[in-house]
Structure 1
Amino acid sequence: MSDLNQNVREVESVDLSGADGITVFAQKPTRRTKTDRRRSFRAWFADTGWRHLVAWAAIVFALFPLLYILSVSLNPIGTLTGSNQLFRQVDFTNYIRLFTDPDLPYPQWYANSLVIAVVTSVFTVLLCALGAYAFSRMRFTGRRFGLATLLVLQMFPQLLAITAIFLLMIQISDVFPAIGLGTHAGLIMIYLGGALGVNTFLMYGFFNTVPTAIDEAAKIDGAGHARVFFTIMLPLVTPILVVIGLLTFIGIIGEFAIASVILNDPAQQTVAIGLFQLVSGFMSQNWGVFAAGAVLAALPVMVFFLVSQRYIAGGLVSGSVK
């Protein structure tokens, strides 16, 4: 009988009557038994606890390569086999060598990558926004065919045309050397041609979410297409502009295949090409310097992502719902 009384939760009332004659009964909490705690933990784990385990496993899986490459960059030995123990040695020799070694023009590579990535991102956002506005707000012959063509072209990766691009750039160099083979301007134009299709289509869906009554009211007040586009539409679609700029910047800063074909002058090369030379046999295979250069190359992407992260979710989702 005593065991049964321990397993049954009792409700006790406490008289809190005051001078006004009103009686309030409060339930006195009872001590939970060990069986109740075990059952509640099982229920919590079955409901949400397993999700925490999956989340932590994903975090560890994502952070381990980053921690390993950071550990290699801080290891003065310069080999991967000596970096199995994370942060066994902490030394900034590899980072110092990137900026002091005369045979290693890393600052020039870094500046070239930033210039190409920033210019390409800015012009990609501007040109894609102009095209998306035209497809969304104007009605002209070939509009639907143009949208379908943009979508179909994205089925073929740009790498398939790398041979044709190389031959075309050689011919352009004979006529317009400033945008030909071995120039940053020529490489930027190639990147722009490959980025306009899918980004224009993505922006087109976002522009459709903006009510047409807004720009119609502006036109009644005397505003033209240019004024509506720059003063009304662009501020309203800022999230998708940031997302397109971020995705383009990330893709360009680490692009290797096309840049290695177009840029043949060591002084014009980017970080991706330069770091590849550190471990490909052209120079001594020093993985420590390679890791340090990769860590520094990732910093602009990380900063850009952290600054613009509040726009990313809205920019990717809002364009799919009208």
Structure 2
Amino acid sequence: MAVTAPGSTLPAAAPAQPSGPESRRWYRKRTSESAPLTRRPFRKWWRETGWRHLVGAAVVVFSVFPLVYVLSASLNPGGTLISANSLFSNVSLGSYVELFNRPQQPYAAWFLNTLVIGLSASAGSVLLGALAAYAFSRMRFTGRRMGLITLVLVQMFPQLLAMVAIFLLMMGISEVFPGLGLNSQIGLIMVYLGGALGVNTYLMYGFFNTVPTSIDEAAHIDGAGHARIFFTIILPLVSPILAVVALLSLVATLSEFVIASVLLRDPERQTLAVGLFQFISQETSQNWSVFAAGAVLAAVIPVALFLLLQRYIVSGLTAGSVK
């Protein structure tokens, strides 16, 4: 036991550091009280982080301006892009009303066709890609590596190069199964499924490799088969990449024009990308306001899906690049 001299004072005992969740909060409070706040010079702040704010603001302006311009053109009753250069100078909803009052150009039918074709193609792409990725990731068979490389190499060539072959194939199918050939939405969905299988399989393959194989082995010991493991164990674990693939497939289907314009002939069966082109394809009857209004309404679907699936997008794209 220490003995102090008469008249001396004992030093104040330092407060005990709490344990548990309060320790981090206690440490921040102690450091903020002990260390005085110093303001960084402007040059140092600009060199370290300031220029990033300027770049971010420029990127936001560059990205938002086309959207604002299209919205302004859709509200402009003039029907030309020249009169829409002054943003929101004339505001009218006449283009949106006219969009649904044209019997020769049924926008409502186009919107419904695009929604059905897009959702069907994206759901089929997710299912087929997940099945193929599970097989390449978990099973060992002859030609596995060569098959995976072939899927990647085939995607190097654009689908436009196979347009003639696709047209002749669909024409031949029309003679046997008219419901799957030309001017058939089901046939168009089948073409989309075949074109997106390779890239979706390779994207999911990297994500499936991040799931430990010990989970499969434990399920096999308990008596589960490949189908039960795939649908009840693996799919819930890889839900981020499923959402990403579904979103990318849907956006690609909504904006696809060439194949849909060749395979679909009747106006009632066409998609939005093909139908909207009719508003500006004829030189004597171009109406850019109605076209812009249709484009604004067509953008509602992908924007809503982006907002709904945004928490899966980053994790799904980054985790799949680990292996």
- Scaled by the length of structure 1, the TM-score of the pair is 0.88
Q: In structure 2, how many angstroms separate the alpha carbons of the residues matched to 1:21 and 1:48?
A: 44
Q: Is the 8 A contact 2:206 2:321 kept in 1?
A: yes
Q: Tell me which residue corresponds to 1:151.
A: 152
Deviation at 1:319, TM superposition (A): 1.3
Deviation at 1:99, TM superposition (A): 1.6
Q: Tell me which residue corresponds to 1:131.
A: 132
Q: Tell me which residue corresponds to 2:257.
A: 256
Partner-residue secondary structure (3-state), 1:57: helix
Q: In structure 1, how many angstroms separate the alpha carbons of the residues matched to 2:158 and 2:35?
A: 69
**1:237-248, aligned counterparts within 5 Å?**
237-248=238-249
Partner-residue secondary structure (3-state), 1:82: coil
> Does 1:187 find its partner at 2:182?
no
Q: Is the 8 A contact 2:129 2:201 kept in 1?
A: yes
Give deviations 1:170-202, integer Å, cap 9, x for gaps: 111001111000100110011111000011011
Q: Is the 8 A contact 2:130 2:204 kept in 1?
A: yes
Q: In structure 1, how many angstroms separate the alpha carbons of the residues matched to 2:142 and 2:11?
A: 84
Q: Tell me which residue corresponds to 1:230.
A: 231
In 2 relative to 1, CA 79–137 (structure 1 residues): closer, same or farther, beyond 3 Å? Answer: same
Q: Tell me which residue corresponds to 1:89.
A: 90
Give deviations 1:99-120, integer Å, cap 9, x for gaps: 2233330000110111100000
Partner-residue secondary structure (3-state), 1:155: coil
Give deviations 1:10-38, integer Å, cap 9, x for gaps: xxxxxxxxx998699x99989x9xxxx8x
Structure 2 gap segments, 5+ residues each: 1-8, 15-32
Greater RCO structure (CA 8 Å; 6+ sep):
2
Q: In structure 2, how many angstroms separate the alpha carbons of the residues matched to 1:139 and 1:161?
A: 32
Q: In structure 1, how many angstroms separate the alpha carbons of the residues matched to 2:282 and 2:79?
A: 15
Q: Is the 8 A contact 2:279 2:287 kept in 1?
A: yes
Partner-residue secondary structure (3-state), 2:136: helix
Q: Tell me which residue corresponds to 1:4.
A: none
Q: Is the 8 A contact 2:133 2:202 kept in 1?
A: yes
Which structure 1 residue ranges, 4+ long, deviate > 6 Å from structure 2? 26-30
Structure 1 gap segments, 5+ residues each: 1-18
State the AA in 2 paired with 1:230.
F
Q: Is the 8 A contact 2:105 2:267 kept in 1?
A: no
> Does 1:62 find its partner at 2:63?
yes
Q: Is the 8 A contact 2:111 2:271 kept in 1?
A: yes
Q: Tell me which residue corresponds to 2:19.
A: none
Partner-residue secondary structure (3-state), 2:320: helix
Q: Tell me which residue corresponds to 2:300.
A: 299
Q: In structure 2, how many angstroms separate the alpha carbons of the residues matched to 1:29 and 1:133?
A: 56
Paired residue total: 297
Identity %: 62
Q: Tell me which residue corresponds to 1:276.
A: 277
Q: In structure 1, how many angstroms separate the alpha carbons of the residues matched to 2:130 and 2:138?
A: 12
In 2 relative to 1, CA 166–283 (structure 1 residues): closer, same or farther, beyond 3 Å? Answer: farther
Give deviations 1:54-75, integer Å, cap 9, x for gaps: 1100100111100000000011
Question: For the aligned residues, what is the CA RMSD?
Answer: 2.2
- Scaled by the length of structure 2, the TM-score of the pair is 0.88
